């Protein structure tokens, strides 16, 4: 039989972050089942460890684990700090629905890269399976993936995930800011070159499914004010294109 290892003391090596529903200094708050499992079984922390809570709405909660075992955990909050939201523009990524594992990857990486909003689209060339799956379980999974990524990357403002809408509904409305439609046509400018000019209030980047946008979608988007752009000389998978486009926008408006 292998020897049992002692619980780790991670409080001095790195910040351990846990999701909490909120609270005030001096209050004890109950931790969720997933948080308890991760702290106790994965990180092997015990009561007395210092951790940092976050609620996804811009508040951090410094505190001490007053209770932690295999079944329950409580955080005694010692300090609450409000973190200001990211500077404008609001960065919105609008990817078409694709296979579940790839779309989950988009959510995870969009959170890590710093997108403010995710606007899932039901495009003309989406598969029937992807377009019809509107179960509550899918929504819960998306939110869980975004929350775990938020914890890992250190953000304090959550990625806001909208309900899926028709691509024609989004692309047919004036965007109210800079709006780009990723469209792999050589005649269109590179997104890296198009993202110039004065700082807008909002930026939307729409990325199509594996089959690309239909001619009708491109026409509708152009009429509403979306600017078609491309991402380079190579053909990218839908999920790769979404993250490449987001990275270019973030580097122009947020990472400087």
The Cα–Cα gap between 204 and 212 comes to: 17
Q: Per-residue confidence of the chain (256 residues) as pLDDT tens digits?
A: 444 444 444 444 468 999 999 899 999 999 999 999 999 999 999 999 999 999 999 999 999 999 999 999 999 999 999 999 988 899 999 999 999 999 999 999 999 999 999 999 999 999 877 766 667 788 899 999 999 999 999 999 999 999 999 999 999 987 788 899 999 875 677 787 776 667 888 999 999 999 899 999 999 999 999 999 989 888 899 999 999 999 999 988 887 6
Domains located in the chain, CATH noted = 17-82 (2.40.240.20), 90-253 (3.40.1280.10)
Ramachandran category for residue 86: left, alpha or beta (phi over 0 → left; psi -120 to 50 → alpha): beta
Question: CA end-to-end span of the chain, whole Å?
Answer: 54
pTM (2 d.p.): 0.86
CA 152 to chain centre: 12
Q: Cβ(183)–Cβ(213) under 8 Å?
A: yes
């Amino acid at each position: 039989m292998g020897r049992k290892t002692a619980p780790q003391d991670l409080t001095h090596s790195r910040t351990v972050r846990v999701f909490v529903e909120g609270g005030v200094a001096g209050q004890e708050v109950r931790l969720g089942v997933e948080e308890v499992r991760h702290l106790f079984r994965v990180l092997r922390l015990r009561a007395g460890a210092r951790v940092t809570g976050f609620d996804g709405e811009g508040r951090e909660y410094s505190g001490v684990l007053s209770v932690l075992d295999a079944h329950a955990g409580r955080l005694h909050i010692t300090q609450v700090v409000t973190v200001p939201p990211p500077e404008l523009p609001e960065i919105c990524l609008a990817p078409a629905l694709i296979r579940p594992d790839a779309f989950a990857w988009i959510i995870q990486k969009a959170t890590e890269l710093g997108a403010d909003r995710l606007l899932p689209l039901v495009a003309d060339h989406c598969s029937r399976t992807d377009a019809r799956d509107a179960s509550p379980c899918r929504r819960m999974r998306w939110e869980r993936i975004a929350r775990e990524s938020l914890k890992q990357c250190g953000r304090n403002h959550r990625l806001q995930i909208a309900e899926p809408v028709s691509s024609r509904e989004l692309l047919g409305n004036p965007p109210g800011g800079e709006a780009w439609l990723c469209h792999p046509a050589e005649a269109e400018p590179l997104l890296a070159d198009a993202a110039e000019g004065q700082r807008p209030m909002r930026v939307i980047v729409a990325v199509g499914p594996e089959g690309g946008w239909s001619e009708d979608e491109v026409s509708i988007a152009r009429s509403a004010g979306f600017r078609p752009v491309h991402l380079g000389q190579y053909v990218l998978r839908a999920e790769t294109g979404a993250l490449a486009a987001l990275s270019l926008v973030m580097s122009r408006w947020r990472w400087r």
